[in-house]
Amino acid sequence: MNPQESGKPVLTFFLSLLMLTAFINPARADDHSRGAEIFQANCAVCHGTNGEPDPDSELVKGLGVVPANFADALFNSREGETEWKLVVTHGGAALAFSDKMPAFGETLSEEDIDATLEYIKTLGGEHDYPDGSLNLFLPIRTKKAFPEDEWVWKQRYTGEDGDNQWKNTLEYEFRVGERLQGVLEVTHETEGGDNEFGHFEPGFKYVLKHDKRAGFIYTLGGNLGVPLNGNAEWELLPYLAFGKILSDSWTMQGSGRLKLSLEEWDHGSAEFAGIVHWTHTPWPRSVFPALELVAEMPFERGSGADKKSAVQVSVLPQVRIGLSKRGHVAVNAGLELPLNDTDRYDWRAYAYLIWDFADGGFFEGW
């Protein structure tokens, strides 16, 4: 057989396979071409036929704002369809974008909008950015798996008879490439009359696996704790984290973290945390309750004469409150209550201010 002839059966095989996939999944193929049709008819004038707006077109110039560029893979991946669906159905102003983005809720059916959004998602081309739908709410103790561009200011107040403490943490997180995120973090503590910086914590996060269809993301991360005062120790804080979309109204996240003291081994601990959020509405400016559970295992526990419980368990009821219309500025507030080993502390209160700066300036989008 000459190479040309041997190529034929292979080609036939692939063509049959292609037809078979089309046959197995006719709905999706239909949806795709329906989405493409709707996009070309209703959206392309502004967003461009391939998803990239033409800044030289008279129409785009007249808008005074550049329409979203769906051909940009990072931009395309960043938002989930849920937010986009709100914008397309109710218009840009619904999420405090420009009102030059019209509302299509009256002219297109929900199925048509879904098909268009599915089509738009393909305009970013092949890429490895995890999809924005996997960007779940930031929990208090559980590590978040999604790499994010954001500023987070956390406050923790520990209530203990006569020995109350404030801990402040400022965190800057920035994306690098498709799966990587860098973190710069600094902590500050106030206890009694003492007032000092705790640690400077540079770190990273790397997405090991992400699957939009399965609603699943899995990440490896770690921080180095650089002591900023005489009592603080050098620390290494590696972790594994996952996020999972359970249904339209529930999400789950979990993480396992080691806190390794580089000075005294038994000052370290292992920590497992998990959280379930009730995502009862697609509107970002809402209140989302959650329940979090933490199991901490200090390495010094579980042996010796005055052995205490090896596993310290606490529960953290909390709420995420979207402040801006876009939800890119939000607070998260919660309480931590120890379920055993209650002499550790009476209770702790947490409040975070989160600013997802890729979605707009702090004062934009309200």
**Angle, CA 336 vertex, CA 331 and CA 339 arms, to 5°:** 160
Give the N- to C-terminal CA distance of the chain in Å, as an integer: 70
How many Å separate Cα 83 from the centre of its chain? 14
34 binds ligand HEC, rule: CB under 6 A = no
31 binds ligand HEC, rule: CB under 6 A = no
Place of tokens 């978040």: 144
- For residues 199 and 171, give the distance between their C-alpha atoms in angstroms, rounded to a whole number: 12
Stretch that binds ligand HEC, among 86-94, 208-216, 250-258, 282-290 (CB under 6 A): 86-94
By residue count, the chain amounts to 366
Rounded to whole angstroms, what are the CA distances from 50 to 40, 59, 103, 178?
A: 9, 16, 21, 22
92 binds ligand HEC, rule: CB under 6 A = yes
Q: Is the dihedral of CA 229, 230, 235, 241 positive or negative?
A: negative
**Angle, CA 298 vertex, CA 292 and CA 300 arms, to 5°:** 165
Structure tokens at 252: 């789950």
For ligand HEC, give the closer residue by CB, 79 or 292.
Answer: 79
Site for ligand HEC in 117-136 (CB under 6 A): 120
Rounded to whole angstroms, what are the CA distances from 265 to 261, 297, 299?
A: 6, 13, 8
184 binds ligand HEC, rule: CB under 6 A = no
42 binds ligand HEC, rule: CB under 6 A = yes
Stretch that binds ligand HEC, among 101-109, 136-144, 205-213, 279-287 (CB under 6 A): 101-109
> Of 35, 36, 54, 79, which one interacts with ligand HEC (CB under 6 A)?
79
> Of 35, 51, 67, 132, which one interacts with ligand HEC (CB under 6 A)?
67
> Of 40, 98, 195, 309, which one interacts with ligand HEC (CB under 6 A)?
98
89 binds ligand HEC, rule: CB under 6 A = no
102 binds ligand HEC, rule: CB under 6 A = yes
Task: Tell me the residue type at 295.
Answer: A
- For residues 234 and 247, give the distance between their C-alpha atoms in angstroms, rounded to a whole number: 41
Write down the least CB distance from residue 270 to ligand HEC, Å. Answer: 39
Pick the closest to residue 283 from 129, 118, 96, 100 (CA basis).
96
How many Å separate Cα 141 from the centre of its chain? 15
For ligand HEC, give the closer residue by CB, 116 or 142.
Answer: 116
For ligand HEC, give the closer residue by CB, 46 or 183.
Answer: 46
142 binds ligand HEC, rule: CB under 6 A = no
> Of 32, 37, 45, 300, which one interacts with ligand HEC (CB under 6 A)?
45
> Of 77, 97, 130, 133, which one interacts with ligand HEC (CB under 6 A)?
97
Write down the least CB distance from residue 194 to ligand HEC, Å. Answer: 45
- For residues 316 and 52, give the distance between their C-alpha atoms in angstroms, rounded to a whole number: 44
For ligand HEC, give the closer residue by CB, 120 or 217.
Answer: 120
43 binds ligand HEC, rule: CB under 6 A = yes
Task: Tell me the residue type at 297.
Answer: M
- For residues 83 and 111, give the distance between their C-alpha atoms in angstroms, rounded to a whole number: 16
76 binds ligand HEC, rule: CB under 6 A = no
Write down the least CB distance from residue 41 to ligand HEC, Å. Answer: 8
For ligand HEC, give the closer residue by CB, 125 or 317.
Answer: 125
For ligand HEC, give the closer residue by CB, 94 or 232.
Answer: 94
Q: Is the dihedral of CA 129, 97, 33, 28 positive or negative?
A: positive
Pick the closest to residue 147 from 207, 101, 94, 191 (CA basis).
207
115 binds ligand HEC, rule: CB under 6 A = no
Residues that bind ligand HEC (CB under 6 A): 42-43, 45-47, 63, 65, 67-68, 79, 84, 87-88, 92, 97-98, 100-102, 104, 116, 120
